[in-house]
């Protein structure tokens, strides 16, 4: 099942298919049915859950570092992500890890990861599972 945190956030980009709009197939074509699109989003989220912040033993998705995922035509993925702190010593490396993980998903041809700091990250972005794992809930 698709993660509800991403579903609740508005993701607007007129040139893309977001999880709030018509689903995209693995080849990027729009489709009126959603199973292929949902499977692609689930696979992207699963890939993101393999990338861990080296200073916090939680993956970048459950930490709430991923702000936007857009599936564009031809399997191109546009993402916005942030860091727990602007001075993160592995910022450049972490963006590369995210890009590599998502590029490994079947149906993804290219991934563009944008680093954003607005809004700033805080603990409220974390999933309940991440909060439990870190003893914050």
Interatomic CA distance for residues 98 and 96, integer angstroms: 5
Task: Quote the pTM value.
Answer: 0.75
Whose tokens are 């702190």? That residue is 85
Work out the angle at residue 66's Cα, subtended by the Cα atoms of residues 76 and 9, and round it to the nearest 5 degrees: 90
Query: Structural domain boundaries of the chain?
Result: 4-133
**In CATH terms, is domain 4-133 a member of 3.40.50.300?**
no
β-strand pairing of 17-18 with 110-115: unpaired
Instruction: Kindly give the confidence (pLDDT) of every residue in the chain, 137 residues in length, as a single tens digit, with 9 standing for 90 and above.
Output: 445 444 434 333 434 443 333 333 333 333 333 667 788 999 999 999 999 988 888 999 999 999 999 998 889 999 999 999 888 888 889 999 999 999 999 999 999 999 999 999 999 999 999 999 999 87
CA atoms within a 13 Å half-sphere pointing along the CA-CB vector of 105: 28
């Amino acid at each position: 099942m698709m993660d509800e945190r991403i579903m609740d956030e508005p993701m607007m980009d007129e040139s893309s298919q977001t999880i709030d709009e018509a689903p995209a197939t693995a080849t990027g074509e729009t489709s009126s049915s959603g199973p292929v699109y949902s499977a692609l989003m689930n696979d992207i989220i699963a890939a993101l859950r393999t990338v861990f912040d080296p200073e916090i033993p939680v993956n970048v998705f459950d930490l709430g570092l991923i702000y936007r995922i857009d599936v564009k035509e031809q399997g191109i993925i546009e993402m916005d992500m942030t860091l727990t702190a602007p001075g993160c010593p592995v910022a450049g490396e972490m963006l590369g890890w995210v890009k590599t993980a998502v590029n490994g998903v079947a149906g993804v041809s290219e991934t563009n990861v944008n680093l954003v700091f607005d809004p700033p990250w805080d603990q409220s972005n974390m999933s309940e599972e991440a909060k439990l794992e870190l003893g914050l809930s």
